[in-house]
Each structure stands twice: as structure tokens, then as C-alpha cells.
Structure 1
């Protein structure tokens, strides 16, 4: 089945609703320019409310090593996600599995990025906009994605309306959603989260039925 990560969770209630909807992972944003950002104390509260089998992921954008370590001292995250220009050496120094985001800029050399981050638990492909590192609600041309034999995640403008098409076209092992399940910036909507996960599961079922036909 396609795994589902719901990013930008900001409260215990949001975490519980995401889990109830069927999320496999939740993301906590440690980037103060984002409407979805949380403090270390807020994140620790969210992590405590998250069921044990739901992975907690901390998202950083060009943070210093000291900033990441300070968050980890206060918040026992399962995994880290790096959304800036971080090197592989920077990403792996914290003793946690990590996800490296590849923003699909027009000039990005995807193969070079993949080689640089060969130790990443997964790579996440996201839409690019010059004024924001992510969470824009934009999609990108999925045809630009390379064929991969390693874990990867599709993000960028996904909603309950288009995630089924994405799964049919490129079969991502996992999908990541944030704004697509919100009623307002930073406010996750329980109904939209359920609808999104339902759309993913429906697409999975259709894909397996087509494979068996």
C-alpha cells in the first residue's frame, strides 16, 4: 500500500485526527517562516499524543546543527527531513534516519542529488517556487521523475482529487500532503484528511486490481 505522510501537524488533536484518518507518518515543521511551524515544546506534546506505530518526522530548512540538536534534546523524533541545501554529511550526523527533499527546480540535477544522499532513508520530490521551500500547494510535472529502485515520496499540491491520478501515473511508494488537507493555512481538517487517505486506498485497490487482470 502507498504510505501516507501528513505534514504540518501542530497539535495533539491534529496528530490524533491524522492517525485516526489512517496516516502512517506525521510531519512537524521547525521553520519559523511557515504558518505550520511549531516550537520544540509544542512538538514534544504532539509526539507524546502520536500512536506508537505512526512515524514522527521533523522538517528543517537550512537549520544549524545546534538548532537541530536542541530540538532533538526536547523532542524524540523518529526521523528527520531536510528541505534545504543540506549536505549528506550534515544530514547523517544526528543519528536518525533522514529524508532528503529534492525540489524540482528547472535546473535541478536529480541524479547528482540522489547520489549525494545515497544514505537517506528516502528522497522526497516536491514542487519548487523561488519564494518558498515547500508547502506551496503547487504540483510539478510528474513525468520529470526518474525511475527509482529506492524508497521515495511524492509531494507538491496533492489533494484527495488528484492523488489517485498520481498513484496511477507514477506509483509512488509514499505520498506527502499538507495544504491539501487544510481548512485554512496551518489548520488540518479531519474530514479532508480522511478523504485524502480514502482516495489513496481507493487508488491502491484499483492499481492492484489492474495488475491482477
Structure 2
């Protein structure tokens, strides 16, 4: 997991192709009917096949039972299953063992107390996605609300391995987010849309370009380091 960019909530071929053409490392397909980014399995399957070998394919589910998971995994054949609900560490472990799939667990962050969940879930899943905790409203979605959280919380972590940053990212702020937090992976959904669920190919390209530039800038030696090596 190194300098990776995920475009999530893809629902049609033009949006998927825009993400792949711009160099997305991961592409996500949402399985959550309440979300404007939800895609039916009979449509998600062909899109996933279209992305096979070009990017890692992620199926996003929210508190799925085993029957739902069987259908999702059979149709999408994802490289990674993203669990974006209230799945317990025990449930995550059970899913990994039963279905033999790599799991990325989303954790909602609002304050420093929420960071404790990172180490808890690290022990039972392959990746961690840190997202803004949804507002306490009945209509709030588990993710994709376009909200950010205090990135300084992530910047202060000693161990950022395996973390993917999400929550309110867009082409204008992703560079600052990468520079401040030091994460090696970012995820976007609503931040590259022209309307809820409608991906904008130009914004996708702009987001990926901005993220790549920030990753390159961080990797480049500073002026002082260049002077010392001269």
C-alpha cells in the first residue's frame, strides 16, 4: 500500500474509464441501497470485469449478512471487501476466514478517542480506511457525506502503515491532506461528483493529478538535503 488512490462509488462505464485512464489504483462499487452511489449487482459485475487487471476492485458493503456477501462476492469478484458499517472485530475476522477475502474496515473519526479503534481493527483486517464519522442524524450515510475531520489527528499517529484517508477530499484539498497527514493512500467519492452519485470525469482526473503531485512532492528531497549531498 504505497501512494494509492481510490475512486469510489462508480456506477457507469464512462466514470470507470475516466478513473482507469487517469491512473486510479483502486475502484469502488457501493452495495448500500440508501446511498445515491449504490449500483445493482447485475451492473456492478460487468464494470468490475472491465476494471480487472487495471486496478484493484473494491466492493463496499454496510453490515452485510452472509447471504448478502455471497451474492456481492460472486457478482463483483472484488480484490478487497470494504466494510463500512458497525462490523465488530469478531465479525470482520469471521468474514475474512469464511470468505477468504481481503478486508478493508472503515473507521469513523471525530476526535482523538476514535483513534483507539485503529489498533483494534488492525489486528483483524488487511487495511484501515479512516473516514469522517457521520453526523448523528437518521438520514446520514455511513460514508460519502462530504465531511472532513481534523487531519492533525492522523498526522500525530506514530504508525500510519495500511491507512487510507477518506472524508471530504476533493481536487482542491487532497494535496494538503497528503502533506499534513503523511498517509500513503487516499479515497474519494462525493468530492469528484457533479451531483450525488454522478461522477465528473474532469474532477476525477484533477483529483488523481493533485494526489500524485502531492505524493511526488513528499518524496522529493528537500533543498537542504540536496545541499548536504552535493
Q: Is the contact made by 1:12 and 1:45 (CA closer than 8 Å) also made in structure 2?
A: no
Q: Following the alignment from structure 2 to structure 1, what is the Cα–Cα distance between the partners of residues 211 and 204? A: 11
Q: Is the contact made by 1:88 and 1:117 (CA closer than 8 Å) also made in structure 2?
A: no
2:57 aligned residue: 56
Q: Following the alignment from structure 1 to structure 2, what is the Cα–Cα distance between the partners of residues 81 and 133? A: 12
Q: TM-score normalized by structure 2?
A: 0.86
1:148 maps to 2:183? no
Deviation at residue 149 of structure 1 after TM alignment: 4.6
1:195 maps to 2:206? yes
SS for the counterpart of 2:29 is strand
Point out where structure 2 has 5 or more consecutive residues left out of the alignment: none
2:101 aligned residue: 96
1:126 to 131, 134, 139: 131
Q: Higher mean Cα deviation, 111-120 or 190-199? A: 111-120
Q: Residues 207 and 112 from structure 1, CA distance in 2 versus in 1: closer, same or farther, beyond 3 angstroms?
A: closer
Q: Higher mean Cα deviation, 190-199 or 110-119? A: 110-119
1:41 maps to 2:42? yes
Point out where structure 1 has 5 or more consecutive residues left out of the alignment: none
1:138 maps to 2:147? yes
Deviation at residue 66 of structure 1 after TM alignment: 1.2
Q: Is the contact made by 1:47 and 1:75 (CA closer than 8 Å) also made in structure 2?
A: yes
Q: Residues 125 and 149 from structure 1, CA distance in 2 versus in 1: closer, same or farther, beyond 3 angstroms?
A: closer
* Bigger Cα Rg: 2
Structure (1/2) with the larger helix percentage:
2
Q: TM-score normalized by structure 1?
A: 0.93
Deviation at residue 151 of structure 1 after TM alignment: 0.7
**Aligned residue-pair number:** 213
